[in-house]
Amino acid sequence: MHDLILYIQSYLDSDRTPGGAGNVFWATVYILLVFGGLSVAVIAMNWLERKILAHMQVRLGPMRVGPHGLLQPIADAIKLLLKEDIIPAEADKLVFWIAPFIVVLAAFTVFVVVPFGPTHAITDMNIGILFMLGVSSLSVLGIVTAGWASNSHYPLIGALRSSAQMVSYEVAMGLAVLSVILMTSLNATGTGTLSMIGIVQAQLTQGEWFIFKFFPLGLIGFFIFAIAMVAETNRAPFDLPEAESELTAGFHTEYSGFRWSLFFLAEYSAMIAVSSIAVTLWLGGWLRPFPNWLSGDRWDLVFSLFPGITFVLLALMCFYNTARMPKHPLFKIQTIGLAGFGAVLGLIGLLLFWTPVRVRVTDIFWFAAKVAGFMYLYIWYRGTFPRYRFDQLMKVGWKILLPMGLALLILTAGMGMRTELWAQLQGVWRGQ
């Protein structure tokens, strides 16, 4: 047992990712952890979306199933698993069966290179960001085949519209990402990097998050990517292909039960994936706020208390709501459940104050907190913005975001090479 703890500790102290070290066992452990964490995150997103949308619309959302609806996602999952599996009569059975798997495969494979910390990625590929953009473009194939295999009009039109939208906004995403890759090359050797961990380390060495670099160029790039990523994942306000009042749920109309839940899982995983791209490229990945300005051991200590404080605050909120529960015998189970949930959160928070855990968790916590901020933005957009019509959507993608992305790329390249450009211009002047 002691050997096991030593083995785990010696691994956690290494400075390479499991893929980089060629360590298959730890890579598998990380893959299982990411898979489990992603599933928990999708379940939590389901609950959060319903509650936050409800509160934005001045109503309460699910309150019955568990205390404050906390068990609602589990009830939904059980219902979906027990539903009858209906396949349309003339549908192409093989393609109908394969389509959800392609989308889920594409959405989950992206997480192989997402960096939760300087060594906390499954692997750090040399082409990290290229791999992420490429594999997330494979989900378009799944959507197109899902619409085709359903053999009915609404799914086909929904699939074609959805894939046209995704392909259009991928171009804008690629251009915004390119401008960030240019910014990573502003170091001593003049070579940039495509690896995700390298991009965050470039932000650390250059002393500022890329969202603030060459102000306002980083900010404009971030906005282009933020808009394009919402369109890429078919979320409001770009969700015409799957809106219920327009196309009766678009390409996943004919899918029921477990197959539909695969599409749902893939959609939320894709949301988390593109948010992690945005966080890594613009918002400094796992870096805590102000790593260079407020540096030193004292500030490290202050910022490393944040994970524990967050969980303890959540636990306090649970206890407050427990006290506010109605004092009726039928609510006894819910009150006890909520108090138990609060106790679990509090214990996790107290665990996160303990030094060995605190030091290791802080990178993952800051990354997860930033991605959680993006998830809240997604839900906020859904509750606030009206839906774009399809031609307006394509116009925004091609006629507004693409020229802005190109101009941003040229300006970023110009700003990055400004000393050389200025020297060349002066040389041309003097040469005359």
Enumerate binding residues for another protein (CB under 8 A): 92, 94-95, 98, 125-127, 130-131, 133-135, 137-138, 140-141, 144-145, 147-148, 156, 160, 163, 167, 191-194
Q: Is 215 helix (H, G, I), strand (E, B) or coil?
A: coil
- CB of 150 vs another protein, minimal distance in Å: 12
| Residue 236: CB minimum distance to another protein, A | 24
Nearest to 55 by CA among 400, 403, 383, 410: 383
Residue 14 and residue 137: Cα distance in Å, rounded? 33
Q: 164: buried, middle or exposed (CB in 10 Å: 19+, 13-18, 0-12)?
A: middle
Which tokens in the block code for residue 58? 């001045």
Q: What is the DSSP letter of 83?
A: S
Query: Shortest CA distance to 200 belongs to which of 116, 88, 314, 95?
Result: 116
Which CB, 50 or 395, lies closer to another protein? 395
- Kindly state the smallest distance separating residue 294's Cβ from another protein, in Å: 33
Q: How far is CA 255 from CA 59, 80, 258, 271, 357, in A?
A: 30, 11, 8, 21, 43
**DSSP code of 284?**
-
Identity of the residue, 160 or 314, whose beta carbon is nearer to another protein in the bound complex: 160
Identity of the residue, 136 or 276, whose beta carbon is nearer to another protein in the bound complex: 136
Q: Which two tokens stand for residue 251?
A: 């390409």
Minimum Å distance from CB 144 to another protein? 5
Closer CB to another protein, residue 184 or residue 276?
184
User: Residue 54 Cβ, how far from another protein at the closest point, in Å?
Assistant: 37
> Which residue number, 52 or 112, has a Cβ lying nearer to another protein?
112
Q: Minimum distance between the CB of residue 338 and another protein, rounded to whole angstroms? A: 46
> Between residues 37 and 174, which has the closer beta carbon with respect to another protein?
174
- Three-state SS for 343? helix
Q: Whole-angstrom Cα distance, residue 236 to residue 229?
A: 11
The C-alpha atoms of residue 369 and residue 384 are separated, in whole angstroms, by: 22
Q: For residues 171 and 219, which CB has a smaller minimum distance to another protein in the complex?
A: 171
- Between CA 252 and CA 103 the distance in angstroms is 12
CB of 237 to another protein, least distance (A): 24
Determine what percent of the chain falls in helix, strand and coil, rounding each to the nearest 5: 75, 0, 25
* Closest approach of another protein to the CB of residue 189, in Å: 10
- Helix (H), strand (E), coil (C) string for 403-418: HHHHHHHHHHHHHHCH
